[in-house]
């Protein structure tokens, strides 16, 4: 399996190279040259298997010869052993043909753990074999950063630097990043929003001298391995609900478009997904794009679902590449227009294809709060605000004859203020992290300036 860049001008890489590279050298994102399709019988055979076995069968065709079958099975076993639920991603029914897919039973209580725990194991195995070490840089609106720090803390071959927007993550998210004491992890609070953090990360990758000097690697969903690991739970959920003999729909609370892009890949692999619904908060660039055909940035408003406060939705580039028939120059032109003018138009043909692939909706702050309250009243389930955005949109888009699964992307205890304001109860943290509020914090404040960030990173890794 080979990987190509969405901008068509970077070297074609193996899975291992693409995983360790992060952003392509032409500024694009790596995607598989082709997507393997599973037969109906292969999909049917997944029903009822342990999560780890499904993960092996889904991811194996994408990894080439990076790991032997037994190495890969061991990596998967280690990745999910710290999850707090035997099913890893349990389904909960909340209404007639309405389901939640709980993706928050990993070590940092968000769906990011599904991929980050895998990547941590894969990086360690690959770097040990190569006798190499890397410097990971990541941008976070709260959850990617904590999952990355958890996955890489204490590893010998890796230093991790996470940029998060100062004052714009929840206290639990911040503390998950700032309380680990291992020397190889560094939480950097940047004066700006998530888009600034993500832009500086991409700038660092595009600054080749720095990139090569520190051997930069990335664990945001620009890294294909992140997306790949997230494909698995679409299969476990859909087969539990009758796929491949029955269609299943998914609504995905969306920011950087990584999680929903994983659903798109699952569908391309043959999973009969009926609707794939983009759910956005007030920062609704993706919903507006689907409605108007123009991808136009607006300011980022802080919301009660802060992890989705994003305007430059990284993985949207991956789907554009496909709806533009894999024309890397067309995608590169659009991305240049976006960075020069803050907007780009989508051609009628490409927009038509996007609308065949995805539906979309948005939830205001009041609607998000009302959904948390209504869900608790009607089903007893407590939603995090991101999941509530999804649940609100899912109800609007549901077809009563098709199961609708909303991805429950984070544990409500990560956002206790928003949840308490909505339903009058403060969700407790799981016991294993009940002392989080007492642990000492370690954080470095940084300005939104690439040179300053690069200097800091070089100082820390040579200390
Ligand atoms: C809790 C939560 N929900 C939803 C999202 C959106 O996911 P994606 O960026 O993959 O679209 C994120 C962050 O990315 C998140 O942390
Ligand atoms: N919501 C994310 C933003 C980064 O997204 P990623 O999936 O590209 O890593 C977060 O919580 O950090």
> What average pLDDT score do residues 393-416 get?
97
> Distance (Å, rounded) from C-alpha 29 to C-alpha 18?
9
In 10 A of CB 8, how many CB atoms?
Answer: 17
Q: Is the pLDDT of residue 173 over 90?
A: yes
51-103 confidence digits (pLDDT tens): 999 999 999 999 999 999 999 999 999 999 999 999 999 999 999 999 999 99
**Ligand 1 pocket check for 457: Cβ under 6 Å:** no
Whether domain 88-105+225-423 has CATH 3.40.50.1100: the reply is: yes
Computed over every residue of the chain, the mean pLDDT equals 97
Phi-psi region of 434 (alpha: psi -120 to 50; beta: other; left: phi over 0): alpha
Q: Is the pLDDT of residue 152 over 90?
A: yes
**Ligand 1 pocket check for 259: Cβ under 6 Å:** yes
- What residue segments make up the domains of the chain, in order of their start? 88-105+225-423
* pLDDT band at 463; cut points 50, 70, 90: confident
Q: Which of 2, 9, 112, 202 is catalytic?
A: 112
> Distance (Å, rounded) from C-alpha 91 to C-alpha 72?
26
Q: How far is the CA of 283 from the centre of ligand 2 (A)?
A: 15
The first and second tokens of residue 196, run together, are 């600034």
Strand ranges across the sheet with 216-218 = 216-218, 134-139, 158-165, 185-190, 444-446
Return all residues near 307 (Cβ < 8 A) that are at least 6 apart: 110, 141, 142, 143, 169, 173, 255, 386, 409, 410
What residues does 163 pair with on adjacent strands? 139, 188
Return all residues near 145 (Cβ < 8 A) that are at least 6 apart: 138, 139, 162, 163, 164, 169, 173, 176, 177, 187
Ligand 2 residue neighbourhood (C-beta within 6 Å): 140-145, 220-221, 255-256, 258, 307, 314
What is the per-residue pLDDT for 237? 98
Residue 161 · residue 446 · CB < 8 Å: no
* Nearest listed ligand to the Cα of residue 22: 2
* Nearest listed ligand to the Cα of residue 281: 1
Of 382, 372, 386, the residue nearest 303 (C-alpha): 386
Q: Is the pLDDT of residue 343 over 90?
A: yes
Return all residues near 9 (Cβ < 8 A) that are at least 6 apart: 26, 28, 328, 332
> Distance (Å, rounded) from C-alpha 374 to C-alpha 361?
19
> What average pLDDT score do residues 266-282 get?
98
Return all residues near 258 (Cβ < 8 A) that are at least 6 apart: 221, 226, 227, 230, 314, 315
* Nearest listed ligand to the Cα of residue 193: 2
How much of the chain, in percent, has pLDDT values that exceed 90? 99
Q: How far is the CA of 300 from the centre of ligand 1 (A)?
A: 15
Of 263, 229, 284, the residue nearest 406 (C-alpha): 263
Q: Is 397 a catalytic residue?
A: no
Our mutation pick for probing the ligand 2 site, out of 117, 173, 253, 255, counting the most ligand atoms within 8 A of Cβ, is 255
309-335 confidence digits (pLDDT tens): 999 999 999 999 999 999 999 999 999
What is the per-residue pLDDT for 313? 96
How far does the chain reach from its first CA to its final CA, in angstroms? 39
What is the per-residue pLDDT for 119? 97
* pLDDT band at 280; cut points 50, 70, 90: very high
Burial (Cβ within 10 Å: 0-12, 13-18, ≥19) of residue 447:
exposed
What is the per-residue pLDDT for 91? 98
Q: How far is the CA of 96 from the centre of ligand 1 (A)?
A: 26
Our mutation pick for probing the ligand 2 site, out of 103, 147, 205, 221, counting the most ligand atoms within 8 A of Cβ, is 221
The first and second tokens of residue 98, run together, are 């309405």
**Ligand 1 pocket check for 255: Cβ under 6 Å:** yes
Q: What is the DSSP letter of 441?
A: P
> What average pLDDT score do residues 28-33 get?
98
120-145 confidence digits (pLDDT tens): 999 999 999 999 999 999 999 999 99
Our mutation pick for probing the ligand 2 site, out of 141, 193, 231, counting the most ligand atoms within 8 A of Cβ, is 141
Q: How far is the CA of 310 from the centre of ligand 1 (A)?
A: 10
* pLDDT band at 111; cut points 50, 70, 90: very high
Question: Which residue's C-alpha comes closest to atom 15 of ligand 1?
Answer: 307
Say if strands 98-102 and 404-408 run parallel, antiparallel, or are unpaired.
parallel
């Amino acid at each position: 399996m080979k990987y190509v860049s969405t901008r068509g001008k970077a070297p074609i890489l193996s899975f291992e190279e693409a995983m360790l590279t992060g952003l392509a050298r032409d500024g694009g994102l790596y995607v598989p040259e082709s997507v393997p399709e599973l037969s109906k019988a292969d999909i049917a055979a997944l029903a009822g298997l342990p999560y780890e076995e499904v993960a092996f069968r889904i991811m194996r065709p994408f990894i080439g010869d990076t790991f032997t079958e037994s190495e890969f099975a061991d990596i998967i076993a280690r990745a999910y052993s710290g999850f707090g639920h035997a099913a890893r991603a349990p389904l909960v029914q909340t209404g007639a043909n309405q389901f939640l897919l709980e993706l928050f039973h990993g070590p940092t209580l968000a769906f990011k753990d599904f991929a980050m725990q895998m990547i941590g194991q894969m990086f360690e195995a690959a770097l040990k074999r190569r006798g190499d070490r890397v410097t990971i840089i990541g941008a976070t609106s709260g959850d990617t950063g904590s999952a990355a720090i958890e996955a890489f803390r204490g590893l010998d071959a890796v230093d991790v630097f996470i940029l998060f927007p100062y004052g714009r993550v929840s206290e639990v998210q911040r503390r998950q990043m700032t309380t680990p004491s291992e020397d190889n992890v560094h939480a950097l609070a940047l004066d700006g929003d998530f888009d600034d953090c993500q832009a500086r990360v991409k700038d660092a990758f595009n600054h080749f001298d720095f990139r090569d000097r520190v051997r930069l690697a990335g664990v945001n969903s620009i890294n294909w391995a992140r997306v790949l690991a997230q494909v698995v739970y679409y299969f476990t959920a859909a087969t539990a609900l009758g796929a491949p003999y029955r269609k299943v729909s998914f609504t995905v609370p969306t920011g950087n478009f990584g999680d929903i892009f994983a659903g798109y890949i699952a569908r391309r692999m043959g999973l009969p997904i009926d609707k794939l619904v983009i759910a956005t908060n007030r920062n609704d660039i993706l919903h507006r794009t689907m409605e108007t055909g123009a991808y136009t940035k607006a300011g980022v408003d802080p919301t009660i679902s802060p992890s989705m406060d994003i305007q430059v939705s990284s993985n949207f580039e991956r789907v554009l590449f496909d709806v533009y028939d894999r024309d890397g120059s067309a995608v590169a032109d659009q991305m240049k227009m976006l960075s020069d003018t803050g907007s780009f138009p989508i051609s009628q043909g490409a927009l038509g294809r996007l609308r065949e692939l995805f539906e979309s909706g948005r939830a205001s702050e009041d609607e998000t709060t009302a959904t948390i309250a209504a869900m608790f009243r009607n089903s007893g389930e407590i939603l995090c605000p991101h999941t509530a955005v999804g649940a609100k949109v899912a109800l609007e888009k549901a077809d009563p004859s098709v199961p609708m699964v909303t991805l429950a992307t984070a544990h409500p205890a990560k956002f206790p203020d928003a949840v308490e304001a909505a339903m009058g109860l403060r969700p407790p943290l799981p016991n294993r992290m009940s002392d989080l509020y007492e642990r000492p914090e370690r954080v470095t404040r940084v300005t939104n300036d690439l040179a300053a960030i690069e200097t800091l990173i070089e100082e820390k890794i040579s200390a």
